[in-house]
Structure 1
Amino acid sequence: MKRTILILDDDEDILYFCSVVFENLDFTVISSSHSKDIIAQVKQANPDIILIDNWIPGLGGVKATQELKANEELRNIPVILFSANSNLPALAEEAGADGYLKKPFDLDELESTALKMLKD
């Protein structure tokens, strides 16, 4: 069965490169440039994994992840927070994210981090 990833970032270049990586892995890729209505977006996308930028317009990555993890129906979807913030590990922990990636990241690192979470 084909897997789905929801990528939330307002940087079109990052959306493009992340989309190419996951399309090559035979994922259905859904992207969004904001985190408004995060619960509705995730319910509509029904992703297997979520990649979210910390500085995404709307709620922001930390608050959006906290909302997802507080939702009984959605809390088990793995969330990877990604950002150039120097305190990213602490932000990911505060958010309740399942993992994090520091920008700029290597595309192989992106792929391996996501696939590892889907196997756990």
Structure 2
Amino acid sequence: MRRVLVCDDDLTISEVVAIILVDSNMAEVYTIPDCDNIIEKIEEMKPAIIFMDNKIPTHGGVVATQTIKSHPVHKSIPVVYFTGSHDIDTLAENAGADYTLAKPFSISQLEEVVNKAFKSGVNSD
């Protein structure tokens, strides 16, 4: 089953995403509350998609996404930037994210962005 990594320090949001994706048999979900050692975490979990919160400890979502997108191996993993910030599109563009999902989101919005990201991603094991 495909894996999704949710990077969010709000455990409620992470749990909601996990419940929706697991219950619909869309993905196996891993959650982390910070982006410390993000490359090592990606190598361990091997996600097909990464959800990245904007205000996540320690470096923030923009820096964490830039780190992923500058990595020679992991740059092809689709990153969904998700935040409640009104400037989500600008933040996602500055970070180099592939998709956005504004908080709060509906189940259909979550499933839609996951389906798009799975279709575009190369890590679809």
Partner of 1:12: 11
Counterpart-to-counterpart distance in 2, 1:12 and 1:107: 17
Runs of 4+ in 1 over 3 A off after TM superposition: none
Alignment partner of 1:88 is 2:63? no
CA deviations 1:1-30 (Å, max 9, x no partner) are x10000011111111110011112321111
Structure 1 residue 92: deviation in Å? Answer: 0.3
SS in 2 for 1:110: helix
| Amino acid in structure 2 at the alignment position of 1:77 | I
Counterpart-to-counterpart distance in 2, 1:25 and 1:97: 25
TM-score (norm 2): 0.91
Count of aligned positions: 119
Q: How does 1:17-96 map to 2 (within 5 A)?
A: 17-26=16-25, 27-96=27-96
Counterpart-to-counterpart distance in 1, 2:18 and 2:39: 21
Q: CA RMSD in A?
A: 0.9
TM-score (norm 1): 0.95
Question: Unaligned regions of 5+ residues in structure 1, if any?
Answer: none
Counterpart-to-counterpart distance in 1, 2:74 and 2:115: 19
